[in-house]
Structure 1
Amino acid sequence: MSQTHFDNLRDAITSLNAASAADIATKAIAEGVEPVDLITNGIRTGLDIMGEKFSTGDCFLPELMLAGRAADSAVAIIEPAMLASGNADEKLGKVVIATVKDDLHDIGKNIVALMLRSAGFDVIDLGCDKSKEEIFAAAEENNADIVGLSTLMTTCMAIVPEFIELLKAKGVRDKYKVLVGGAPLNPQFAAEAGCDGYAADASKCVEMAKELMGIAA
């Protein structure tokens, strides 16, 4: 039964149908499907398909944005159930997260923020298209433990090492753990940029965040 919901949610996203995605999520939650499974096996699968189509030229930015809106409509239904079933009241640390300057992709980052909150992290989500200076200012203002940087565009990758250099210039490199993710990034890039960790998906991000905070799995 759960697999049917996953498949239907995937198809709603790839067909760009926000209303259907919300309806499917509502029914699945009512039937007791685990919220995290809906995100991992339904939403994430649909977005991955759309991302692959975009990279091969089989769909374009407007379709990708509509798929993101469909995913958002499902996440809006899933989020309350996910937070209620997680450890949102147990604060494990504070995370400032953002999609970097000139990158408007935020659905992946939004899912990461949701799963971090559900796991028990206090998350300050700055949104997308944020400069390294804006991200640094938010980290300082909120006394963050972890800074999460997301990008889905190769043209925006340079902000990651630039952010690390900014922390060094400010004399606070050791104050923050920097965790990065996004389609064009990989562990080697993260290591060479001087980051503390890389996560390929939202579940891995939660695991890495806990590891960086010294929290046993």
Structure 2
Amino acid sequence: MDQQTLAMTQEMDFSLLALFLRASFTVKLVMMLLTVASFWSWSIIIRKFITFRAARSEAEGFDRAFWSGEPLDELFDQIGPAPVGASQRIFAAGMLEWRRSHRSDGELIAGAQARIDRSMDVAIAKETEHLNSGLPFLATVGSTAPFVGLFGTVWGIKVAFEEIAISQNTSLAVVAPGISEALVATALGLLAAIPAVIFYNKLSADSDRIASGYEAFADEFATILSRQLDA
């Protein structure tokens, strides 16, 4: 490397901001898209950790109240018409249908057990949908971000070679900036994709465990009501 080329290389700014500012419009657009996707993914991840922690805490507290021996009608009256937690909403859906299934003379309307089960199933489906909200975005970012970053890199290298051809100079001072700018796009793609994939798998498993807990509670509650129906 001659002294002139070395001096030109040393004078160049290779910070991320400088590489972004020197990049072509298409590469800049890719970088901004990946940066936004990364921040959005982290906001979903943090929000889901808070939501799942609150859901587990609420389920544990309600389980203690449910199995405390207190009459279910009194527990339902304490919850009121606006349950605040997922377990409470599932329980309220079953109890509401249980009360609606009684005629004015105290006898049960036929098919009460099936209607109670369906009511709780609908409530569980709504809670599961709420738990899983945002996770498809993490899956999308995890699967597409590397390819979006690769597209930015390929485009940046194309532009770099065009500039080399126009300048008719293949020195490192001409080649290095364009290649560096292009590679940043791939790095951002991986930076967005890797956490998204890791936390998508973790949060999906957590969501499944919480939903399984709801289903187990609904089965236990349905069994209790079934005994009362048979009696």
Superposition TM-score, scaled by structure 1 size: 0.24
Higher normalized contact order (CA 8 Å, seq sep 6+, divided by chain length) = 2
Rg bigger for which structure? 2
Larger helix fraction of residues = 2
With structure 2 as the length reference, what TM-score do the two structures score? 0.23
